[in-house]
Amino acid sequence: MEHIYVSPSGDGHRNLATDEFILEKYRRGEMTGVTLYFYVNSNAVIIGRNQNAWRECALERMKAEGVQLVRRHTGGGAVYHDCGNLNFSFITDEKHYDKARFTGIVLSAMRSLGIEAEANGRNDLTVDGFKFSGCAYALRGVARGMHGTLLVSADMEKLSRYLVPSQKKLAAKGITSVRSRVKNLSEFKPLDTETVMQAVINAFKAEFGECAPLSFTPEEEDAIARQTERQASWEWLLGETPVFDYKVEERFSFGELQLLLKVKKGYITSAKTYTDSLDESLPGRLEKALVGVRFGTSELIEALMSGGAEEGEIAKYLLERRENTMDDKTEKLIEGARRALHEMPELSGEERSTQAFIKEFLKEHTSLRTVDRGAWLYAAHDEGAEKTVVVRADHDAVPVSTGAKHLCGHDGHTAALLGLALLIEGKKLGKNVILLFQHAEENGAGAAECCELFSDERLTRVNARVIGCHNIPGEPMGMALLREGTFACASCGADITLKGSPTHAAYPENGTNPTAAAARLALEIPDIAAGIGKKYGCMVLATIVGMRTGERAFGVAASDASLWVTLRAEKAEAFEELNARVDEAVKKYASDERLNYSVERLDVFPSTENDPVLLEDVETALKESGAAYKYLAEPFRWSEDFGHYGAFAPACFFGVGSGEDTAPLHTEGYEYPDRLAPVTAELLLNIIIGV
């Protein structure tokens, strides 16, 4: 009995698992006759059983753009699959296997569509010398399989984009694909995959007669699911790679280095170092750090980052020379947006030109649903999914004597978010994404207003997650910086006013002078902070930023005093107690000196605390995408109003290294590096895909 089965799934791992499952049924003698199996994979690169993925594929680019890596259980070369590829398999036993007959069925189908095709000596099918189909073959006991792909309307640009080596200095020992001139069938006739599939089915039935549809029992579906898990595992996709060598050759500050790595089953098995470095221990340290590590750029960087200065320099070299995963057009758009935003710095709450630019960019380059909330805006990628990921960037500038200037990198943050809009355009992510363009971060007012987003879009702690990041000078370009617990401290400005009564300077006893109280508070408040820090075991700081008392009038005693203090703390409970203790101290001194007083809080920033579960998911997403990252031992003392979002949904904030030679934030020499915005956009995309 002949069967026909059409897969309902676009998952390449499941479709190849199903192919292997049917083949096994024939091997065990549970099926007879011939089965014709069709499937369409959504965005996948398929490599042969004996191929080296690092040599055949642009792995980092694939990860960044959500393209599956799938390894066949049979031989053959590397191919790119999207919804314009129709894949077929003839699966049978040795008695009924006939390669010429199966090839004839496909050629007959082509003739019925008005396409004169022929088979050539390399198991390919061609039209006018252009390949549109290639086949691979399976032999397992008495079972036989012949499967191939039919290029109907595949994206040829992506085919060339993903089927290139990602490591230039890799000496592979696996089978290398043979590149051929290819064309889609739709270039010869207006066709789609459904039409081509029906033509092959008709030719199959003409050859074999009527066929029965193939179905699976619940137990068989479970077996296919287990096989799918194996197909998707690192052990199968990369651990099955044949032995190969990888070489780093470069001159570093410590001398010439040639590092030779041997990789077997995806793991580094030996590391040989040749160098003229004066440090005789370097070869041994590199061997100890690298042997036993999974091969991959991010794994190499992670292993080296924990070593000495030389290892760190090698890690930086690998990080900066990672494969460029973004096309030139997108990269130039992002960098152009960053430069345009840099030229229109606007103070908190005054970002009108900036917002107009953002809206115009989104309108011109994306189809995202854009919502203008006046002072702020957001753009939504709607899929009707249960989960929504909110990604936030700020866009105000730092106040300077001449007005405003982008000295904190908010121009780059916004450009990166615009870049993310370009990267998710037209993609199926399995979740909704909201890009939140926030105003007024520098004065701490913007995030509190933007929290209206959660009620507007019906987002809760159950269905939403919030992601944000900030560039960090002094760290390697593109390095993701994670932190458990508090990432940035809570802070506020305390404007303390003390009012007494005026009198002639010659008769101070007739008035009330607040100067002594203000001076005592200026000395005591930092001590209060230090005591609270010891109590909670965290950073607590009170910084006197200014004090004024009286006027420059030598005949009048001071009657008014102002004390300005910045309060900050790592933990929310410590920050709360610090504020309460300051209020108590002000009240006490005012009472003792018979003064009126007030304490006004300005630029209030909550602590930016990372949700532990979301942080773990972010780390997993970075690791799976091949991104380099490390954990910070201490929180940043500066503050971020991103902390407001954590009250509405699980939130995670991380840093992105902007280069070790980049000037510090808020200094005159600082400027956000152009190259960082595309890098950050890709990091954010990888995190969205993973969480």
Mean pLDDT on 148-175: 67
Question: Which residues are registered as beta bridge partners of 46?
Answer: 70, 79
Mean pLDDT on 593-602: 96
d(CA 373, CA 429): 26
**Helix (H) / strand (E) containing 46:** strand 44-47
pLDDT in tens, 414-451: 999 999 999 999 888 889 999 999 999 999 999 999 99
Tell me which residue of 463, 432, 416, 492 sits closest to 655, measured CA to CA: 416
Mean pLDDT on 181-192: 90
Q: What pTM did the predictor assign?
A: 0.62
Confirm if 270 and 285 have CB atoms less than 8 A apart. no
List the single range of 42-46, 486-490, 553-557, 667-671 with lowest mean pLDDT: 42-46
Tell me which residue of 429, 413, 423, 412 sits closest to 329, measured CA to CA: 423
Q: Do domains 3-237 and 244-320 have the same CATH topology?
A: no
pLDDT in tens, 246-265: 778 888 888 888 888 888 88
Mean pLDDT on 280-308: 86
Q: How many CA within 13 A on the CB side of residue 572?
A: 12
List the single range of 266-280, 574-588, 593-607 with lowest mean pLDDT: 266-280
d(CA 601, CA 567): 10
- Tokens 């070369």 locate to 77
What CATH number was assigned to the domain covering residues 3-237? 3.30.930.10
Cα 311 to Cα 105, 172, 289, 321, 656, distances in angstroms: 59, 25, 9, 16, 20
Mean pLDDT on 284-299: 87
Tell me which residue of 76, 227, 196 sits closest to 147, measured CA to CA: 76
% of residues, the chain, pLDDT over 70: 96
What's the pLDDT at 122? 63
d(CA 468, CA 392): 5
What's the pLDDT at 323? 58
Mean pLDDT on 130-157: 88
Residue 631, amino acid:
Y
Residue 176, amino acid:
T
What's the pLDDT at 134? 84
What's the pLDDT at 173? 45
Cite the DSSP H helix spans in 279-327. Answer: 282-290, 297-305, 309-320
Top pLDDT among 482 and 154 is at 482
Backbone angles phi, psi at 367, to 5 degrees: -115, 20
pLDDT in tens, 504-515: 999 999 999 999
What's the pLDDT at 627? 81
User: At residue 635, does pLDDT exceed 70?
Assistant: yes
User: At residue 21, does pLDDT exceed 90?
Assistant: yes
- Tokens 């042997």 locate to 291
What is the pLDDT confidence band of residue 171, given thresholds at 50, 70 and 90? very low
Fill in the DSSP letter of residue 326: S
Confirm if 365 and 336 have CB atoms less than 8 A apart. no
User: At residue 172, does pLDDT exceed 60?
Assistant: no
**Taking the CB of residue 25, how many other CB atoms lie within 10 A of it?**
16
| DSSP labels, 52-97 | -HHHHS-HHHHHHTTPEEEE-SS----EEE-TTEEEEEEEEETTT-
What is the pLDDT confidence band of residue 181, given thresholds at 50, 70 and 90? confident
Strands 377-381 and 432-438: antiparallel
What's the pLDDT at 276? 74
Question: Which residues are registered as beta bridge partners of 39?
Answer: 87
What's the pLDDT at 645? 97
d(CA 441, CA 398): 10
328-488+608-690 folds as: Aminopeptidase (3.40.630)
Return all residues near 179 (Cβ < 8 A) that are at least 6 apart.
Answer: 163
% of residues, the chain, pLDDT over 90: 69
User: At residue 178, does pLDDT exceed 50?
Assistant: no
490-605 folds as: Alpha-Beta Plaits (3.30.70)
Mean pLDDT on 585-612: 96
What's the pLDDT at 324? 56
Torsion on CA atoms 425, 429, 430, 431, rounded to nearest 10: -70
Which residue ranges make up each domain of the chain? 3-237, 244-320, 328-488+608-690, 490-605
Return all residues near 579 (Cβ < 8 A) that are at least 6 apart.
Answer: 492, 494, 567, 601
Give the chain's mean pLDDT: 90
What's the pLDDT at 121? 67
What's the pLDDT at 161? 77
Confirm if 532 and 577 have CB atoms less than 8 A apart. yes
User: At residue 165, does pLDDT exceed 60?
Assistant: no
d(CA 258, CA 276): 10
Confirm if 462 and 610 have CB atoms less than 8 A apart. no
Highest mean pLDDT among 41-55, 145-159, 241-255, 497-511 belongs to: 497-511
Top pLDDT among 119 and 322 is at 119
How many helices, marked H, and strands, marked E, lie in the chain? 20, 31
What is the pLDDT confidence band of residue 156, given thresholds at 50, 70 and 90? confident
Top pLDDT among 321 and 614 is at 614
pLDDT in tens, 210-233: 899 999 999 999 999 999 999 998
User: At residue 375, does pLDDT exceed 80?
Assistant: yes
What's the pLDDT at 56? 76
Q: Which two tokens stand for residue 140?
A: 């397992």
Helix (H, G, I), strand (E, B) or coil at 674: coil
What's the pLDDT at 253? 87
Contacts of residues 93-96 at CB distance under 8 Å and 24 or more positions apart, as own/partner, are 93/26, 93/29, 93/31, 93/32, 93/142, 93/143, 93/144, 94/142, 94/143, 94/144, 95/142, 96/32, 96/33, 96/34
What is the pLDDT confidence band of residue 455, given thresholds at 50, 70 and 90? very high
User: At residue 589, does pLDDT exceed 70?
Assistant: yes
What's the pLDDT at 531? 97
CATH of 244-320, one of 3.30.390.50, 2.60.40.10, 3.40.1180.10, 3.30.1370.60: 3.30.390.50
Confirm if 294 and 263 have CB atoms less than 8 A apart. no
What's the pLDDT at 318? 81
d(CA 517, CA 594): 10
